[in-house]
Structure 1
Amino acid sequence: MMNTIGAAIIGCGAIAPLHARAIDAMEGARLVAVVDIDPVQAAQSAEDYGCEGLTDYRQLLERKDIAVVHLCTPHHLHAEMAVELLKAGKHVLTEKPMALDVPSALEMQAAAEAAEGQLGVVFQNRYNEPSVQIKAIIESGSLGKLLCMKGLVTWTRDADYYTGSSWRGRWATEGGGVLINQTIHTLDLLHWFGGGIASVKGSVTTDVLDEVIEVEDSAHACINFSNGVRGLFYGTNAYQTNSPVELELVFEQGTLQQRRDSLYLWQDGQETLLCGPQGSSTGGKAYWGTGHSRLIQDFYAHIREGCRFWIDGTEGIKTLELIAAIYRSSVSRKPVLQGSTPLASHGFSHLH
């Protein structure tokens, strides 16, 4: 009989229900406790999920019945919590971004390397069926060499979204704006598809909410990969609706396009549907993608098998470095080279 893995969730905000439902749907896993500094929120979530409600995450450190902790807290809290939990022997699965900035992420990675527990990062869009098929086509070479690609994210976030949460829209607590919060998944996919990065040139602006937030609501970048592929990226929270993410990858022998969570192949003058939208039993917003439950199941499977989870701190740091490069390029108006000091430094806020 499968041993039950006890779990806890820290942070009972918007993303926590996806984690709770994924744990509940999984054989051999049980949500033991939820934690939130707001006692009313903690109590309500505990009632919703049939578990304990706590207000201090340090109460989890000595708990033998809790092996996995899900971090669904504001960005600036991830690193400190993860380091303490890893040192206490817990497995940690953190929502994106893994940390507020690259130095904090490196501290988390160092703690994970010295710990018995694993550190996983939630880049759930890698589990969406279009993403899986795109990656397989790239690796198989069935369409020839990848030449270029683009990613477009046009979403909306109004003033209430930021004023309703004191940590959002602030460099010290969110670490950035649309880049580090909303479009990080698309940047992660471009990095995953393209491989190593040679240089990045980009810019950020605050087009609509400059009276409300310190951070950017729009960004674009030209990403030159080491293999010669060029990636173009545009993301904004200044649209007036949340449109589905769009991806396009051009190969020598055809073009892949992701539109409305469906993947199409354009080849020889014909368009073919390769896969359609995938349903999700864990709910959440449609434009988030549907990979949360699959990622969480896979994280637990790796723990059971004693294998290292593949979306770990190293993967999380790569995407944070890309974001840091866009911020720094925006200030310098010059390309930032992979491996140069600015790429691994803190983000935009310390550059003024």
Structure 2
Amino acid sequence: MPNFNGQDGIVMQKLGAAIIGCGAIHPLHAGSIAELEDAELRVVIDADPEKAQGAASRYGCEAATDYKVLLEREDIQIVHLCTPHHLHAEMALELFAAGKHVLTEKPIAENAAAAQAMIEAAKKNRRQLGVSFQNRYNDASRIIHEHIVSGELGRLVCMKGIVTWHRGRAYYESGAWRGKWSTEGGGMLINQAIHTLDLLQWFGGEITSVKGSVTCDTLEDAVEVEDSAHACIDFVSGARALFYGTNGYGADSPVELEVVFEHGVLTQRRDSLYLWKDGRETLLSEPPRSNFGGKSYWGPSHRKLIADFYAHVREDRPFWINGEEGIKALHLIEALYERTRSGQGLRFPPANAVLTKSQ
């Protein structure tokens, strides 16, 4: 790797970046890279040559249709995976072997077995693996987590998370991989609600059990996966979280979170966070105003996460939302799928799961 010190007159070389996948999410990654003084987007890749060339023209970089061109590129240190879920592991394993660091969009992979292979490959090749759970960087999320850690409001008692969004037939027809177990790995849980489930497990800590079920209520003729789910999640601390999510609503409503402590309640409504304590409600944070792009329900913090990932790579420090963190929400989701298949209560984690304590 080049010397990125930048001190004592040494010119800091830029980290070379590439993005694989030029779909809806890639502009957030490209725009975030453009804001970094010590990084440069050099290649965008998509199997569709028109998409690749269009992105290359917008961002002033090269275009390619085969990600394997990156394997021999010494000027590329970090690769962003913005591809369908089932391609993450295959690509990441080759990229790690070629000495690249990988930042992948959620989910880390289409299933936990593929995710575990990515984790092991990153360790073997001493490369960084980051997962884009950018909502952990939202002001509201950070404040909630800080209150849990500090104990300022007393013991965490319970939580709830609600995701009511809309995905219709046209959405699933926009990509042949969507709505299929083999390529998406699931439905609403693994694609839309995974950010909220990640926050619940990050807030709650180690999970002891999860119960619930998944159903397909409105999209039976369009997908083979679920469009709705509910869950009851119990934590070692004694706290409990309830979750409900659906893609069958008529609109994309803001995610709702409520976190109840012994001496107060934190509530996220329309991306603003409120504290209810001693009979009074106080506004603690509001969503930032930004023209950065993307959809509001994705969360505003992609650029924070990406800048932090690059800083960890430059300084050779382990990134905190790594593979071990990224796989936790996937284990939770797979537990719900297994619970539905078996029709019986399920202890957490699933067989062969490898978990570490939440940070």
The bucket for the TM-score relative to the shorter chain is over 0.9
- 1:129–1:278 Cα contact (<8 Å) kept: no
Q: In the alignment, which residue of structure 1 is the partner of 2:266?
A: 256
Which of the numbers 256, 264, 283 marks the counterpart of 1:273? 283
Which of the numbers 27, 33, 40 marks the counterpart of 1:30? 40
- 2:334–2:350 Cα contact (<8 Å) kept: no
Q: In the alignment, which residue of structure 2 is the partner of 1:153?
A: 163
Going from structure 1 to structure 2, the CA distance change for 1:340 and 1:170 (only over 3 Å counts) comes to: closer
**Matched positions, count:** 344
Task: Structure 1 unaligned segments of length 5 or more: list them.
Answer: 345-352
- 1:328–1:342 Cα contact (<8 Å) kept: no
Tell me the SS of whatever aligns to 1:2: coil
Q: In the alignment, which residue of structure 2 is the partner of 1:162?
A: 172
Which of the numbers 243, 247, 250 marks the counterpart of 2:257? 247
In the alignment, structure 1 residue 81 sits paired with structure 2 residue 91:
yes
- 2:331–2:350 Cα contact (<8 Å) kept: no
Deviations 1:216-256 (A, max 9, x none): 00001000111111000001000000000000000000000
Q: In the alignment, which residue of structure 2 is the partner of 1:18?
A: 28
Which one-letter code corresponds to 1:167 in the other structure? Answer: W
The Cα shift of 1:281 comes to 4.8
Tell me the SS of whatever aligns to 2:68: helix
- 1:336–1:342 Cα contact (<8 Å) kept: no
Distance of 2:342 and 2:292 partners within structure 1: 43
Deviations 1:50-83 (A, max 9, x none): 1000000000011011100000000000000001
The Cα shift of 1:2 comes to 2.9
Distance of 1:246 and 1:231 partners within structure 2: 13
Tell me the SS of whatever aligns to 1:97: coil
In the alignment, structure 1 residue 55 sits paired with structure 2 residue 102:
no
Distance of 1:207 and 1:242 partners within structure 2: 17
CA RMSD of aligned residues (A): 1.1
Going from structure 1 to structure 2, the CA distance change for 1:132 and 1:163 (only over 3 Å counts) comes to: same
Q: TM-score, normalised by structure 2?
A: 0.94
In the alignment, structure 1 residue 121 sits paired with structure 2 residue 131:
yes
- 1:337–1:343 Cα contact (<8 Å) kept: no
Distance of 1:76 and 1:249 partners within structure 2: 34
Alignment of 1:105-116 (within 5 A): 105-116=115-126
Tell me the SS of whatever aligns to 2:41: strand
Distance of 1:300 and 1:103 partners within structure 2: 27
Q: In the alignment, which residue of structure 1 is the partner of 2:13?
A: 3
Distance of 1:338 and 1:324 partners within structure 2: 10
Distance of 1:145 and 1:212 partners within structure 2: 44
- 1:71–1:92 Cα contact (<8 Å) kept: yes
Q: In the alignment, which residue of structure 1 is the partner of 2:110?
A: 100
Distance of 1:339 and 1:297 partners within structure 2: 32
Q: TM-score, normalised by structure 1?
A: 0.96
Task: Structure 2 unaligned segments of length 5 or more: list them.
Answer: 1-10, 355-359
Distance of 2:349 and 2:107 partners within structure 1: 21
Distance of 2:288 and 2:225 partners within structure 1: 33
Distance of 1:224 and 1:279 partners within structure 2: 36
